[in-house]
Amino acid sequence: MTPLLRVSNLVAGYGELRVLRSISFELHPDEILAVVGANGVGKSTLLNAIIGQVRIWSGTVDVAGTRVSGRGAHAIVASGVALVPEGRRVFANLTVAENLLLGAHTRRDKKQVAADVDHWLESFAALRALEHRAAGLLSGGEQQMLALSRALMSRPKVLLLDEPSLGLAPKVITSVFEFITRVRDEGTAVVLVEQNARLALQCADRAIVMQRGEVRIEGPAAELASDPRVRDIYLGRTSEVT
């Protein structure tokens, strides 16, 4: 089966600073892949390189068998990839509904876009009541719900999530991760970068562990959660690891 996402020997960085060093992995349909590792190992850079926001020095990115590396971010989104960035980055002066519409900017099926706006407003009950409120006035949890829904408005094959639990209350985190699992179950594969590594490994099907811009360990998430190398080197004694 052709992977939905294949990253092969990816090298990328900023200016002369090389951050990613020959990263390779695959993401398959109906799968959540967790990316874990300590601060500064290149997890966010990896997502931004996939989506076309960081220049790739060498290596390739394929989506559903089609080469997308070297294309602009707009073309990569149109190919079926969406990113929910760290910090959510909603358009603060636009309403909830307007933010959702912007998530569908690559689509031309206007009637179905309108139906999808209604669908996502109903999926998070809080958003329906806030439909006409400026996004900048929402709570952190409401903004995260909006950011997730906005990304899904493009109907991606692959959803990239960068630190979705950051700054959220425990109850909201539970709701967000339940939603991520539902997204996977409804047919969208997910690459999950998450500061809470234990939570990420509990949610994911497979995982890769990064160190110094490279993939050092890869395997089923449940196995890596109990792997002493991961526990001792990356998780330590706390649950908060980015």
CATH of the domain at 31: 3.40.50.300
Joined together, the tokens standing for residue 232 give 């001792």
CB 117 within 8 A of CB 97: yes
What integer pLDDT is reported at residue 166 of this predicted model? 87
Q: Within a domain: residue 190?
A: yes
Hey, what long-range contacts does 170-173 have (CB within 8 A, 24 or more apart)?
172/140, 172/141, 172/144, 173/199
Q: What is the reported pLDDT for 239?
A: 37
189 burial type by CB count under 10 A (0-12 exposed, 13-18 middle, 19+ buried): buried
| Rounded CA separation 193/166 (Å) | 11
Q: Is residue 240 part of a domain?
A: no
**pLDDT by 10s per residue, the chain, length 242:** 789 999 999 999 998 899 999 999 999 999 999 999 888 889 999 999 999 999 999 999 999 999 999 888 889 998 999 999 988 789 999 999 999 998 988 888 888 898 899 888 888 777 888 899 999 999 888 899 899 999 999 999 999 999 999 888 888 899 889 989 999 999 999 999 998 888 999 999 999 999 889 998 999 999 998 888 887 655 544 333 33
Query: Which pLDDT score is estimated for 242?
Result: 33
Please tell me the predicted confidence (pLDDT) of residue 232: 66
Q: Across-strand partners of 190?
A: 32, 159
Residue that has been written with the tokens 């099926």 in this structure: 109
Which pLDDT belongs to residue 152?
Answer: 94
| 100 in a structural domain | yes
**What total of structural domains would you count in the chain?**
1
Domain that holds residue 223: 5-235
Domain contains 241: no
pLDDT at site 241: 32
Rounded CA-CA distance 65/78 in Å is 14
In a domain, 242, yes or no: no
Does residue 33 lie in a domain region? Answer: yes
pTM of the full structure: 0.90
Looking at residue 234, what is its pLDDT? Answer: 58
Q: Quote the distance between the C-alpha of residue 58 and its chain's center.
A: 22
Is 66 a domain residue? Answer: yes
Domain-embedded: residue 202: yes
Q: Are 20 and 63 in contact (CB under 8 A)?
A: no
For residue 218, the model assigns a pLDDT of 94
